[in-house]
Structure 1
Amino acid sequence: MAAPLAARRSTSCPTVRPRPPMPRYIAHLDMDAFYASVELLRYPELRGRPVVIGGGRRHQPVLREDGQRDVAVLRDYAGRGVITTATYEARAYGLHSGMGLMKAAALAPDAVLLPTDFDEYRRYSRLFKAAVAEVAPQIEDRGIDEIYIDLSEVPGIDEPVGHDAMGGVRAVAQAIKNNVQRATGLSCSIGVTPNKLLSKLCSDLDKPDGLTVVTLADLPHRIWPLPAKRINGIGPKASAKLEALGIRSIGDLAAADPQWLVGHFGISYGTWLHHAAHGRDERAVVTYSEPKSLSRETTFERDLHARLDREQLSRIFTRLCEQVADDLVRKGYLGKTIGLKLRYDNFKTVTRDLTLPEYTCDAALIRQAAGQCLKRVPLERRLRLLGVRVGTLCRRDAVPSPRPRRTAAPTEEPPAAYTLPLF
């Protein structure tokens, strides 16, 4: 006879199957040749020509009476400036960021040379990030021209399109690209994968104007054939060491024994290399982090002398202080620690700091404090770079009440070796 229904029921708690984790869709967006592309909006007649950005402000195009512009070309450049960025047409000649302009002139003498305009680049940076946020607000800011985006909770991300299981992902990524194009007139490239490491790599695979979606199942045919150095975090030294050990592709790295990697690279980096080759990265998209400091610096067209070029250095010094003060106001911060950075003609770099009794964003106070720092560095050698930094930041609306002032001790006179004329 069958047992009563109540007797057949288990008295133990029912088994609760855990819900599978939600899939992660992380995008990395990189603007295409950002500085150069912004300049081409201003000078559309240069489209299709090799164009490089860099070399200071003296190469501004000149508008003629007939409405045409005279532009500088690399063959006429003399100096030690470097390329900030280059159009894809210029890159076809082997030109790239960080290359000296004199070397670039030997490769592409007729390439157009335009000056940098960082205020304009920052404006377009704000525009493209706002356009992305309209579609997907979970953004990690990684600089003026790139961001990470967590797409995991964007509506429609999981919906297939026809037979394409990743159709929803492609549709959302394309919507972001379209929004950026409408807001700025610029193109961008996006890589979408389960994590930041792979997305950073993939955003570069189909540039310019690329959209690349890769899953872990795609690793063997999309990622493993690539050179190992394409992984963000494998620098020139590690790449050369891997090459010497017979590891050339990411697939070679994935096939390497983890303990063998640890033996050659140490437990931390060796373990990371193994995980990176297999596309593992659990880092979250960090949507906000407080900056530790704000700074402005400039490299001179020629080496400047503290005494002979005092007037020019003074103007540059004051402008840097005004710019960093404007940055503080625009971002809503005050700072207490004022820093100075100098690089000499022998490439030696020195820094000095001074902490103020109260927070400030006043350009004159920043200039005064940075000037005090200047008294503590030798100025016999010529200078190639000058920078000003403000640290120990606090949001303007969270500044603590000032403490009662104390009478400051007399400032010690700087050593005799440091008493050359200051700027």
Structure 2
Amino acid sequence: MTPARNPRPRAILRIHFHPVERNDELYGHLLTVLDGISPRIEPLPADWSAYVDLTGALTFWDRDVEGLIAVLRLRLLALHGVQSSAGAGPTRGIAAMAADATPPGAATVVVDDPYEIAAFLRPKPAAALPGIGPKTARTLARYGITTVGDIADTPLTTLQRILGTGPARQAHDFAHGRDERPVVPGAAPKTMSAGHRFDGDELDPDRHHRTVLGLVQELGARLRTAGEITQALTLTVTYADRTQTTRTRSLTEPTAHPPALAAAARDLLAGLGLQRARVRALALRAERLRPAEYAVHQLTLDDRDEKLLRLEAALDRARRRYGPGIAGAASTFG
């Protein structure tokens, strides 16, 4: 009787891209580089990252995880001049945590070994565990549970009384390095994004507001030029410690026009409460794009909308002739 072969250890990669300028075309090119290493890619355009399942690619390339990541990062830099940071481990959760703890230009690999996994996970703060947000971390801290090791050591029944059955079981499994979630291959969704990185940590809410409105104008102009409309907006805030917060809002009507986009963006920004936050970068992404001919516009009894559309067309012509930033709403300028 032939003995059963041990399953091949999983090797999951989470990679973050750090380009100087961000655009959707570049993101697609970077995914193509990943596809040259392994076809099992799950794009995450919201934060310019992706999951890659390297399990089968290790045998094909005859390299270990560190060597294959080095090849991948070198290709990204050589072909597109894009620096990257990467984290790898036997699960999605560990790969994500390793990537979040890694600065640009470096890689962190957690070996598929119980002792290595425990040494990596246990000292981490509870909020670093996937699925544990700041509010849940504060709830756990009231019971003296502040690290991933504390979560692992807490009886499951106790966690269930604190968090509820489902979240407690997930947190308990993740804290012990158990995570069966697969990398789900797929094409990057059709999106369009604009971003701004501040020169330093920006605490001024007025600058946050002006910057977001500037991104709305840039995104709206690009959508109209491409003949597209968007059905949702996503705002991503990057803080001084490189953590991020992302919020999405669906639009009442698909559009490419600034008034509706600006209203949604302002709501997203206000909902984040950034009055005292040290913000490093802001990014706005239009999602679920459709051709502009599918736009539906609610008729009104005055000509205000028609005047706004004529003004918008004039501003678009000015931008095309003189470049972006030459004209726009007064609220976007300091």
**What TM-score bracket applies, with the shorter chain setting the length?**
0.5 to 0.7
2:131 is the alignment partner of 1:131: no
CA deviation string 1:335-388 (max 9, x = no partner): 68598x9xxxxxxx9975236xxxxxxxxx844xx77x69xx8xxxxx99xx99
2:90 is the alignment partner of 1:194: yes
* Greater relative contact order structure (CA < 8 Å, 6+ sep): 2
Query: What's 2:74 paired with?
Result: 178
Give the whole-Å Cα distance in 1 for the aligned partners of 2:175 and 2:249: 39
Note if contact 1:30-1:189 (Cα within 8 Å) is conserved in structure 2. Answer: yes
Give the whole-Å Cα distance in 2 for the aligned partners of 1:302 and 1:18: 59
Aligned-partner SS, 2:55: coil
Query: What's 2:223 paired with?
Result: 324
Equivalent residue for 2:110, pick from 201, 208, 213: 213
Question: Structure 2 matches for 1:27-66, cutoff 5 A?
Answer: 27-31=13-17, 34=18, 38=20
TM-score by length of 1: 0.49
What is the deviation of 1:201? 0.8
Higher mean alpha-carbon deviation, 230-239 vs 283-292, is at: 283-292
CA deviation string 1:164-211 (max 9, x = no partner): xxx622221221122222223443222221111100111244434124
Note if contact 1:295-1:389 (Cα within 8 Å) is conserved in structure 2. Answer: yes
Give the whole-Å Cα distance in 1 for the aligned partners of 2:94 and 2:72: 19
* Structure 2 counterpart of 1:236, one-letter code: P
Give the whole-Å Cα distance in 1 for the aligned partners of 2:7 and 2:183: 17
Give the whole-Å Cα distance in 2 for the aligned partners of 1:280 and 1:158: 27
Give the whole-Å Cα distance in 1 for the aligned partners of 2:298 and 2:162: 56
CA deviation string 1:244-277 (max 9, x = no partner): 2111221111111011101100111111110110
What is the deviation of 1:136? 2.5
2:123 is the alignment partner of 1:225: yes
2:253 is the alignment partner of 1:354: yes
Q: What's the % identity of the aligned pairs?
A: 22
Query: What's 1:262 paired with?
Result: 160
- Unaligned ranges ≥5, structure 2: 197-204, 236-247, 264-268, 271-282, 312-334
Query: What's 1:288 paired with?
Result: 186
2:49 is the alignment partner of 1:146: yes
Q: CA RMSD in A?
A: 4.6
Q: Pick closer, same or farther for the CA change 1:282–1:158 going to 2, 3 Å.
A: farther
Aligned-partner SS, 2:123: coil
CA deviation string 1:134-173 (max 9, x = no partner): 22232211125321111111153696xxxxxxx6222212
Flag the structure with larger Rg: 1
2:138 is the alignment partner of 1:240: yes
* Structure 1 counterpart of 2:123, one-letter code: P
Equivalent residue for 2:174, pick from 267, 276, 279: 276
Give the whole-Å Cα distance in 2 for the aligned partners of 1:225 and 1:20: 30
Give the whole-Å Cα distance in 1 for the aligned partners of 2:69 and 2:215: 43
Question: Structure 2 matches for 1:326-405, cutoff 5 A?
Answer: 353-354=252-253, 366-367=256-257, 393=289
Aligned-partner SS, 1:279: coil
CA deviation string 1:300-321 (max 9, x = no partner): 85978xxxxxxxx9x9876533
Note if contact 1:321-1:388 (Cα within 8 Å) is conserved in structure 2. Answer: no
Aligned-partner SS, 1:135: coil
Give the whole-Å Cα distance in 2 for the aligned partners of 1:410 and 1:199: 47
Note if contact 1:203-1:211 (Cα within 8 Å) is conserved in structure 2. Answer: yes
Give the whole-Å Cα distance in 1 for the aligned partners of 2:27 and 2:191: 20
Give the whole-Å Cα distance in 1 for the aligned partners of 2:26 and 2:4: 45
What is the deviation of 1:293? 6.4
Paired residues, number? 263
Aligned-partner SS, 1:207: coil
Note if contact 2:13-2:53 (Cα within 8 Å) is conserved in structure 1. Answer: yes
Question: Structure 2 matches for 1:77-88, cutoff 5 A?
Answer: none
* Structure 2 counterpart of 1:23, one-letter code: P
Aligned-partner SS, 1:253: helix
Equivalent residue for 1:25, pick from 3, 7, 11: 11
Note if contact 2:94-2:110 (Cα within 8 Å) is conserved in structure 1. Answer: no
